[in-house]
């Protein structure tokens, strides 16, 4: 029920004024840079698996010995 009321209020009150303080831009930049860093760490962690999947890398010798 609360969701319906919220949607109705958003539909009726379309004129809004907002203030973005100077710290908002730096916060958005920090979020974007954090996301880029997270993607970089994920790629670094799975780099070997990506190379093998793309066919440009060799499998580990331990994987070949187990097969």
Biggest CA-to-CA distance, the chain:
68
Task: Name every residue whose Cβ is closer than 8 Å to that of residue 51 and which is 6 or more positions away in sequence.
Answer: 57
Per-residue model confidence (pLDDT) at position 29? 94
Helix or strand run (H / E) with residue 16: none
Per the domain annotation, does 36 fall within a domain?
yes
Number of domains in the chain: 1
Range of the domain at 35: 22-67
Find the angle CA(58)-CA(59)-CA(62) to the nearest 5 degrees.
140
Give the global pTM: 0.49
- Closest to 42 (Cα-Cα) out of 30, 53, 50: 50
Per the domain annotation, does 64 fall within a domain?
yes
Per the domain annotation, does 41 fall within a domain?
yes
Query: pLDDT digits over 1-59, tens only?
Result: 888 898 888 888 767 677 778 888 899 999 999 999 999 999 888 888 888 888 876 66
């Amino acid at each position: 029920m609360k969701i319906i009321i919220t949607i109705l209020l958003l539909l009726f009150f379309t004129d809004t004024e907002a203030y973005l303080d100077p710290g908002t831009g730096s916060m958005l930049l920090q979020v974007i840079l954090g996301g880029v860093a997270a993607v970089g760490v994920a790629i670094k962690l799975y780099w070997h698996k990506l190379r093998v999947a793309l066919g440009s890398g060799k499998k580990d010798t331990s994987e070949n010995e187990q097969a």
